Structure 1
Amino acid sequence: MNAVILYTRRIEEATSFEFNVFDNQFATENLAVRKVMMAMLESVHPYLTQLEIEYNDSMLVEKLGARRAGELLRLLGSTKENTREHRSNDIVVSRSFHSEMSEEKYQYFYHMKDIAELPHYRLKEGNEDRIVFYFTRYLQLIAPDQQVAATFLNKLSSFSLPYKLVAIE
């Protein structure tokens, strides 16, 4: 197996690890991609307190079916009160919501078969992003310190997933 490429950069005390979907040439449901996500989740699990999801109704229904899409949104904390519409020329192009992170939500992300099941999500520590998936472009971990960064890399190794770090300035 070829090594997955992770672009790294420092953000003050934090380290960003970015898995670029295009550069790595893996489908978002590939086991290697899922292992990257699982390693990210395990490295920041104790820090995660918030969740932010953005989705398009019709795309989500097309991917999951109406019933499963509704169940998933409810599981992740979507309510009429916390959902915002994003419009373009009076047409709703997407919706988003914030909710508290829970163990059940963490387990959903950990066991996700396709990291692109939801098009855009942010798992946060308060207002700080820790894991970001952005519209099948990239999956990013923002490790708040060197201990979390080392935990992430150790998890990749424990999953027998070869990786190559490429520093960007």
Structure 2
Amino acid sequence: MNAITLYTRRLGQATSFEFNVFDNQFATENLAVRKVLMAMLESVHELLNEVEIEYNDSMLVEKVGAKRAGELLRFLGATKDNSRETMTNGVVVSRTFRAPLTEERYEYFYHLKDIATLAHYRLKEGDEDRIVFYFTRYLQLIAPDARSQDRFLAGLDAYSLPYKLVPIK
């Protein structure tokens, strides 16, 4: 297997590791991609306390079915009170909600079979993004310190996932 490419960038004390889906040419349900997400989650697990999810109703229904979409959104914490709509020309194009990241919700992301089941999500430490998946374009870890950076790279090694780091300025 060829090495996956991770683009790195310093953000103050933090380091961003970006897995570009197009550059790596893996389907979002590929085991290698799932291992990247798993290593990201493991590296910052104890810091994560919130999830923010943006979704399009019809896209989610197409992926998982109408009944499962409703169940999934409720499980992940969507309510009428915490959801907001993004509209274009009077049409709802997406909905966004933010909820506590419980252990059950963490496990959902950890065992996700297709990282693109939800179009856009952010796993957060308070207001700080730690893991971001953005519309099948990229999966990003923002590791706040050397410990979480080392844990991420050690996780990739533990999953026997070869990688190369490409610094960007």
Normalised to the residue count of structure 1, the TM-score between the two structures is: 0.99
C-alpha RMSD of matched pairs (Å): 0.3
1:99 pairs with 2:63: no
1:62 pairs with 2:59: no
Q: Kindly provide the CA deviation profile for residues 97-145 of structure 1, in whole angstroms up to 9, marking residues without a partner as x.
A: 0001100000000000000000000000000000000000000000000
Match of 1:21 in 2: 21
Match of 2:80 in 1: 80
Count of residue correspondences:
169
**Which runs of structure 1 show a deviation greater than 3 angstroms over 4 or more consecutive aligned residues?**
none
Q: Kindly provide the CA deviation profile for residues 38-94 of structure 1, in whole angstroms up to 9, marking residues without a partner as x.
A: 000000000001100000001100110001101100010000111101000110000
Alignment of 1:1-169 (within 5 A): 1-169=1-169
**Quick one: distance in 2 between partners of 1:48 and 1:150?**
17
SS in 2 for 1:36: helix
The offset of 1:10, in angstroms, is 0.2
Tell me, which stretches of 5 or more residues in structure 2 are unaligned?
none
The offset of 1:96, in angstroms, is 0.4
Q: Return the letter of the residue paired with 2:48.
A: L
The offset of 1:2, in angstroms, is 0.4
**Quick one: distance in 2 between partners of 1:28 and 1:58?**
19
**Quick one: distance in 1 between partners of 2:86 and 2:29?**
28
**Quick one: distance in 2 between partners of 1:52 and 1:37?**
16
**Quick one: distance in 2 between partners of 1:135 and 1:91?**
20
**Quick one: distance in 2 between partners of 1:33 and 1:44?**
17
Q: Return the letter of the residue paired with 1:51.
A: V
**Quick one: distance in 1 between partners of 2:95 and 2:136?**
17
SS in 2 for 1:150: helix
SS in 1 for 2:113: coil
**Quick one: distance in 2 between partners of 1:86 and 1:99?**
18
